[in-house]
A and B are shown apart, each in its own frame.
Chain A
Amino acid sequence: MAQRRMLMKGTEAIAEAAIRAGCHHFFGYPITPQNEIPEYMSRRLPQVGGVYLQAESEVAAINMLCGAGAAGVRVMTSSSSPGVALMSEGASYMVGGELPAVIVNIMRGGPGLGDIQPSQGDYDQMTRGFGHGDKHFIVLAPSTVQEAVDMMALAFDLADEYRNPCVVLGDGLIGQMMEPVTFPEPSERTFDRSWAATGKKPGQRRNILRSLFLDPEVLEKHVEKLFEKFKVMELKEQRYEAWMMDDAPPVVISAYGTTARIAKSAIRELRAEGHRVGLFRPISAWPFPVDGLATYVEQTRLFLGIEMSMGQMVEDVRRVVAGRRPVQFWGRTGGMVPTVEEIVAQVKERSAALGQ
């Protein structure tokens, strides 16, 4: 079948992509700027025999994911920064109980109630502070609506493969803009579900899905087993884009999501004026593409982190660069979106200081 290109809003495209990835169960709670996802799901899921249920809170929603994930189906929720914060406890339980699910966070300005404008203030929340205990989540950060669409199928596959919740981290811009998209063919992969709690099969061991291990030795072994998975994720699931990096530019911008797109426009202008600038764009925020970034450290003179935050991902860049090169930061926050002109000016000023 010929693939149709469709003009869709990011949030609705994410929802449709999830359904096409086999997700027929959605639990969520309204919060701006992602309401089109639950609205779309409430229209579409009954058409495919699925379940859309509006939870009484984000706390309840994540625990409904816990139940549906434990029952062995593809399930997702979507929310925005403060709503996602409310889900952190349940998400930690899901890691402990090894339950797959996809959590979409369309970030808005914070802290607190903040505002409803695009932001990237949740990088730390998703890669570091999402839930208690020793745990990780794969965090995928799309830069275009098409990439978000492609990521939904990937996110469900990764969640199932590792039996761990997977996060898709977009900002309000990805959610609200309209772009042409093509939906990929559904994945052919199948996953073992024999661990799910669906009713004890006669003559077989029953399934208990839990995160409680009162004996510290047993808990330590359980956490070590989880970290064997995280180690595999760190080896296999690092994703990034290196853009305009072939001529070993002295200045490299690190940015993700929508900010990376704005940075690309700025880099085009800068290159037109003869400034050699490249972009390192993490696609997986966790695992951070350590190995990819490491290959560019020697050839680069200055890293400039640009984010819609006060500087969160840049700490990962600093971790990899490890003091060998200067790593600077410039960002806008509170829902302010950086402009191409601002980025161009920032790069020029910093290049001049380097003696470029």
Chain B
Amino acid sequence: METLQLPPQWSTFARQTDWVFYFIYYLSVAFFVAICAAMVYFVWKYRRKPGVMSEPSGHNNLLEIGWTVSPLVLLVFLFHVGYRGYVDLTMPPADAMEIRVRARKWAWDFEYANGGHATVLHVPVHRPVKLILSSEDVIHSLYIPAFRVKRDAVPGYYSTMWFEATQTGETDFFCTEYCGAAVGTSEYREGDPNVGREGDRRHTGHFSMIGRVKIETRAEFSTFLESILRPPTDPATGREVSPEVWGSLIYRSSQCNTCHSIDGSAMTGPSWRGLFGRSREFVDGTNRVADANYLRESILQPNAHVVRGFNGVMPSFAGTLRDQQIDALIAYIRTLR
């Protein structure tokens, strides 16, 4: 069900939250209309007329106590329903499936119990899911409107949130704690004829920490769980794709593409085009040829050697990318001549 004001109700919380929302909504409308009606009527009825004085005013204890106390009843009720809904939001059932969520500037990583990672949040339908959030740099916040859930990922802490999806489908998630934007995107954008939707992927920041939630049936979800451990299969041949192709998929799914282009243009990070085998110059003045070992190090310990002309803002992917995936990425970079 989708109403005028709120997103579709796709979790077990949605009904309750929306009920409170509409309760306040109609309560507010009632008060608002009453106040406006009285105001307009009085302004018209008692408009200034020559020779007619206003009547002295005073106060009326009964009336005043009435409108001081009666809203109190409503407010206590309101607090109560809001709080009840909130308690549900904070108490995941013991059998909930756990997903580790790591936030960093400006991407989300979802790690599943089998050790696989994804950047699209896949969740099974009709099953409680508990997310354990943490952040590597500044505060981020995970927000899934269709589920009515939101929680900050605070560096140095673990926080949890949970939900149970009631319907399969696809929806959006957002980062709702301001976390900045990549420096330097503006220089790249200056004079770019490619303004418009197409070029905008190249901006990174708070506003680009968004993604899709896929709510799947049990069967679909277990296929997904397997797929994150192995290279995907090519539907045409029915066999696993080559490492180069897998690498190009990881390039997108692990969001390397938010900072690295493959067409030679510099973004937040250097382009990968023609990178392999080239001599790299670092900010500390040293040099090194970009071989497989160097690329591996760049992914696991990006700040060990920071390329001249760039800032050491690349996060480490140690623990996020598995060895096979790194190999695939390197294979892919080799193809970018």
Do the two chains bind? no
